[in-house]
A and B are shown apart, each in its own frame.
Chain A
Amino acid sequence: MTEWIAAHWRSLLLWALGLFAGGVALALLIAYSGIYNVAASAGHHPWLEAFLKMAKDRSVIFNSRSVKAPELEFAEQVPLGAAHFQGTCAACHGAPGQAVNPVYAHMLPHPPDLQIHAAHWTRAQLFWIARHGIQFTGMPAWSGTGRDDEVWAVVAFLEMLPSMTEADYRHHAGGHSEARNYSAKELVSAGRPRLDLTACSRCHDTTEAAPTSPYIPRLGGQDQSYLKRALQEYRDDSRQSGFMEPVADDLDDEQIDRLSAYYAALSPASSPVSRSASVEERERGRQLAEQGDRARKIPACLSCHTEKGREDYPRLAGQSEPYLRQQLQVFRRGVRDKTPHGAMMSVVAKRMTEQQVLAAASFFASRPWQAAAFPAGAEKEKDSRP
Chain B
Amino acid sequence: MKTVSRRWPKLILAIALITAVAGCSGEQSALAGFGPVASRITLLTWIMFAAAVLITVFMGLLTGLAIAGPAGWRRRLAGEKSVMWGGVVFPVATLSVLLFYGFSILNAGERLARAENPVHIAVVGEQWWWRVIYLHGDGRTTESANEVRIPTGRPVEIELTTADVIHSFWLPTYAGKVDMIPGRTNRLHFAVDKPGIVRGQCAEYCGGAHALMAFYAVAMAPADYDAWLAKEKADAQPAARKAGERLFLVSGCGGCHTVRGTSADGKVGPDLTHVGGRVSLGAGILPNTPDSFAQWIGRHQKLKPDNLMLPFDFFSESELHDLSAYLKGLE
Residues of A within 8 A of B (CB): 292, 294, 297-300, 303-304, 308-310, 312-313, 340-341, 343-344, 347-348, 381, 383, 385-386
Binding site for A on B (CB under 8 A): 243, 246-247, 249-256, 266-268, 308, 310-314, 316, 318-319
A sample of 11 more A-B contacts (CB under 8 A), given A340-B313, A340-B314, A381-B246, is: A292-B267, A299-B252, A303-B254, A303-B266, A304-B251, A343-B311, A343-B313, A344-B311, A383-B243, A385-B243, A386-B319
B contact residues around A313 at 8 Å (CB):
252
Q: How far is the CA of A378 from the CA of B319 in the complex (A)?
A: 23
B250 and A308 form a contact (CB under 8 A): yes
Whether the Cβ atoms of B268 and A341 lie closer than 8 Å is no
Do A341 and B314 touch (CB < 8 A)? Answer: yes
| Known contacts A303-B255, A308-B250, A383-B243; is-contact A292 B311 (Cβ 8 Å) | no
- The winner among A297, A298, A340 for most chain B CB atoms within 10 A is A297
Residues of A within 8 Å of B266, CB to CB, are 292, 299-300, 303
Q: How far is the CA of A309 from the CA of B310 in the complex (A)?
A: 16
Q: Which residues of A contact B255 (CB under 8 A)?
A: 292, 299-300, 303-304
Alpha-carbon separation in the docked complex, A348 to B246 (Å): 23
Q: Are A340 and B310 in contact (CB under 8 A)?
A: no
In Å, the complex CA distance between A62 and B266 comes to 53
Closest partner residue, chain A, to B266 (CB atom):
A299
**A345 — nearest CB in chain B belongs to which residue?**
B310
Q: How many A-B residue pairs have CB under 8 A?
A: 62
Q: Determine the distance from Cα of A303 to Cα of B316 in the docked complex, in whole angstroms.
A: 20
Q: Which residue of A lies closest to B267 (CB)?
A: A294
The A contact surface, by secondary structure, is loop
Known: A292-B266, A297-B268, A386-B318. A340 touches B252 (CB 8 A): no
Whether A383 contacts B246 by the Cβ 8 Å rule is yes
Query: What residue of chain B has the Cβ atom nearest to residue A347's Cβ?
Result: B310
B315's closest neighbor in chain A, by CB? A340
Please give me the residue from chain B that is nearest to A310 by CB atom.
B250
A308 touches B249 (CB 8 A): yes
Docked Cα-Cα span, A334 to B94, in Å, equals 60
Which of B249, B250, B312, B318 counts the most chain A CB atoms within 10 A?
A: B250
Set of chain A residues within 8 Å of B310, measured between Cβ atoms: 299, 344, 347-348
List of B residues within 8 angstroms of A343 by Cβ:
311, 313
23 CB < 8 A contacts A-B: A292-B256, A292-B266, A297-B256, A297-B268, A298-B268, A299-B255, A299-B268, A299-B310, A300-B255, A303-B253, A303-B266, A308-B250, A309-B250, A310-B250, A340-B314, A343-B311, A344-B310, A344-B311, A344-B314, A347-B311, A381-B246, A383-B243, A385-B247
Q: Which residues of B contact A381 (CB under 8 A)?
A: 246
Among B243, B253, B255, find the residue whose CB has the most chain A CB atoms closer than 10 A. B255
A79 to B319 Cα, complex, angstroms: 41
Contacts of B319 in A (CB 8 A): 385-386
Contacts of A344 in B (CB 8 A): 310-314
